[in-house]
Amino acid sequence: MSSKKLMNSVTGCADDALAGLVACNPDLQILQGHRVALRSDLESLKGRVALLSGGGSGHEPAHAGFIGKGMLTGVIAGAVFTSPAVGSILAAIRAVAQAGAAGTLLIVKNYTGDRLNFGLAREQARVEGIPVEMVVIGDDSAFTSLKKAGRRGLCGTVLIHKVAGALAEAGMGLDDIVRRVSAAAAAMGTLGASLSSCSVPGSKPTFQLPVDEMELGLGIHGEAGVRRLKMATADEVVKTMIDHMTDPSNESHVPVRSGSSVVLVVNNLGGLSFLELGIMADAAVRCLEARGVKIARALVGTFMSALEMAGLSLTLLLVDDALLKLIDAETTASAWPNVARAHVTGRTRSRAAPAEKPEGTEPTATGGAGSQRAAAILQRVCATLLGLEEHLNALDRAAGDGDCGTTHSRAARAIQEWLKEGPPPSHPDQLLSGLSRLLLEKMGGSSGALYGLFLTAAAQPLKATPGLPAWTAAMDAGLEAMQRYGKAAPGDRTMLDSLWAAGQELHALKTPGADLLQVLSKAVKSAEAAAEATKKMEAGAGRASYISSAKLEQPDPGAVAAAAMLRAILETLQSQSA
């Protein structure tokens, strides 16, 4: 079974993709009758060298995203993962020549089809008297012993587009540009790693990976890599990649060592989330700097993809001040990032946080029976939430994100660490205020904000009024704050349903002589019944409100968590009174 793709047709997808880029970019034009995109201001090139590149489609934004002043003049695109036609390459060469270009440089990735077709077009153009040169880029550092075909052209090719574009914009001649970019290409290496293959439109994935494995050293056309690795942490994967691509025994290594200055490219192969890409970029910077490598510039994003492949490549280009100046030169190419003209290594990456304003002059009371009771209750609540993590996540997947259990477990672990620092406050208002600050900082998500609001508001009635009735007032204050800011009401299928049901029972604490455990027991049963009843409710607030009620067949996870926490409080108090 072929993979799903958003397109009009398999045969027309490359044309449609290029047309979409040109339609949204007034600086580009399609060359009629060809899958060729050119700068719309070709006449401004008169007297300068034109730069043409290209290859198969499916590597977007490469190469057409790098057309612009200071980078490429034009791009010739083939079908997905297929070299472009000789006739289209020749048509592009003729177009820039007719516009007055002082020669044309073809920048070609090292693949057999690209070398043949661009090479043939070059020879035909030279027969017509058009000055054309060609550089073949091979930056792959995967193979420890070089193949006859040489190193594959990968994401480092984009850096060559940038260097050549800056030189051409400065008016350098064709032969000198060839010499300069050839030297830069020789000081560059790229290595890829992926969690999945990709699938050409209309076809199945090119290879299969077990869930516990990943591929190292793969290309950009869905071909398998040089070896498979067991899944590992981001730090471990990056270390393996950099070890491999800088190992002197590897014939395709890039000679990076302590003291070297490099441009780092962290390239998304298409399907990696930006979250993962940021994690891998951080790991790469730390790994290189730990080896004494100076990172002059770092580019992070999608530059040369392989359709939807969930992976990345790392590129290292050795640079001096002259080469760095070319990387920094201005360009209008839409896919080139806005990179700061400042060294990555050596700068301060953090700023001291402002000092917190003191909460007040009243000292926090700790120790004694109240503190011990609070610690026992909190430990029981934490254990309950940690035990429910997977169950709550499963319930939450009906609403889309599936992280309710993770969020509550994060809160539980934060509370456990807080308790390790010392006994909790013994005064109820100080305890709730302390928990509020902790959850607002550590829990995250809307749950963290709502519980923070609840506890902050609930703490206020406990400051002045002692005794059980104060807990009724505290519950009411907390519920009112949650409703005011969370915009939920009882019956909206949220955590409020459980807390509201319990709150109504807690009003019995205002009765003289009320039995705490009896009242709390009824409150817990009401909360659990309310949580179960959310199965039949239509969500009126929160993320679940965007989901059809027919799909929400399970109770609300927030309501389940709230009821479970109340149950943990009750059982702790019961055990202490036994």
pLDDT tens digit sequence for 6-63: 999 999 999 999 999 999 999 999 999 999 999 999 999 999 999 999 999 999 999 9
Asked whether residue 88 is marked as a ligand-binding residue, the answer is no
Distance of CA 145 to the CA centre of its chain: 34
Candidates 51, 137, 129; CA nearest to 96 is: 51
DSSP 491-556: TSSSHHHHHHHHHHHHGGGGSTT--HHHHHHHHHHHHHHHHHHGGGSPP-SSGGGGS-GGG--S--
User: Which band of pLDDT confidence, cut at 50, 70 and 90, is reported for residue 3?
Assistant: confident
Q: Which of 34, 221, 244, 427 is catalytic?
A: 221
Q: Do domains 12-328 and 369-577 have the same CATH topology?
A: no
* 221: annotated active-site residue: yes
User: For position 120, what pLDDT does the model report?
Assistant: 97
Asked whether residue 515 is marked as a ligand-binding residue, the answer is no
Q: Please report, for the chain, the start and end positions of each structural domain, with discontinuous segments joined by +.
A: 12-328, 369-577
The average pLDDT across 100-125 equals: 97
Which residues share a beta bridge with 75? 37, 53
User: For position 367, what pLDDT does the model report?
Assistant: 65
User: Which band of pLDDT confidence, cut at 50, 70 and 90, is reported for residue 2?
Assistant: low
Tens digit of pLDDT for each residue in 511-561?
998 999 999 999 999 999 999 999 888 766 655 554 555 455 789 999 999
Phi/psi at 401 (nearest 5 deg)?
-95, -30
User: Which band of pLDDT confidence, cut at 50, 70 and 90, is reported for residue 446?
Assistant: confident
Inform me whether the pLDDT recorded for 510 exceeds 50. yes
User: For position 362, what pLDDT does the model report?
Assistant: 57
User: Which band of pLDDT confidence, cut at 50, 70 and 90, is reported for residue 360?
Assistant: low
Asked whether residue 58 is marked as a ligand-binding residue, the answer is yes
The CATH superfamily assigned to 369-577 is DhaL domain (1.25.40.340)
Inform me whether the pLDDT recorded for 398 exceeds 60. yes
User: For position 301, what pLDDT does the model report?
Assistant: 98
Tens digit of pLDDT for each residue in 540-552?
665 555 455 545 5
User: For position 224, what pLDDT does the model report?
Assistant: 78
Inform me whether the pLDDT recorded for 225 exceeds 90. no
How would you classify the pairing of strands 104-109 and 50-57?
parallel
User: For position 546, what pLDDT does the model report?
Assistant: 44
In the numeric block, which tokens belong to residue 568? 């943990």
Higher pLDDT, 485 or 123: 123
Asked whether residue 59 is marked as a ligand-binding residue, the answer is yes
Check if the beta carbon of residue 223 is closer than 8 Å to that of residue 249.
no
Provide the percentage of residues in the chain whose pLDDT is more than 70. Answer: 95
Just give the CATH number of 12-328.
3.40.50.10440
Tens digit of pLDDT for each residue in 171-187?
999 999 999 999 999 99
Higher pLDDT, 148 or 277: 277
